[in-house]
Structure 1
Amino acid sequence: MDLKDQLKNLFPEHEVPEEPQEEQSDIWLQDEPLECRFEKRKGKVNTIITGYTGATEDFKILAKDIKTTLGVGGSFKNDTIIIQGDYRDRIMDILKEKGFKVKRVGG
């Protein structure tokens, strides 16, 4: 007997509300691949993602999702996502899981 069954026995009149379904973000997928490259800016290592042709808001959502998944800092400027650190392989895996085509540029 699990906890839900025990609660039903104690409170038979209580109705359990259904849990809301998590909404999938409908990010527009494109035909051309995103470019994922490695750069050093002011002596710091960065991963730059460019080439998204969809809505800016969708790209911002994608940037936030990548940053929270990796647990790193970064920013969104001039239609590019800048992630602090060299995370090209992990970012490419994340983007491929979301259905994007990704091209590794440089090294």
Structure 2
Amino acid sequence: MIGVARGRVAIGVAAFALPGLTVKLMGMGGGSDAGRDYVTRMFAAREIALGAGYLLSKGPNRRLWARLGLVVDSLDTVNGLKSRGRLPLWVTAGAVGVAGGTAAVGAAKVGRDLLR
């Protein structure tokens, strides 16, 4: 989970600083688009907050941040699946793979916390 949280912060900082490049690398468009850049920065802020919240917390608060991350990653996975057919297959597969993978890591952490 610490690796996931660090990755969230890194991706968030990169996406906030370079939203056009981030979207281009994800295969979701190129060129200049102020609305897309705004939404990308909103995503970036969310990732920075989730990652930093987990890294800066301890004990029960850290468990709460893990649960919040699981909810977000689960919703991202559903969103990726809903985009199937409207985005290139490799884009959808990549998005669902990353979101689903982090949701699985989060689910394992939350499950372990609940069993303690």
TM-score (norm 2): 0.28
* TM-score of the superposed pair, with normalisation by structure 1: 0.29
Specify which structure has the higher proportion of helix. Answer: 2
Larger Rg: 1
Q: More strand per residue: 1 or 2?
A: 1
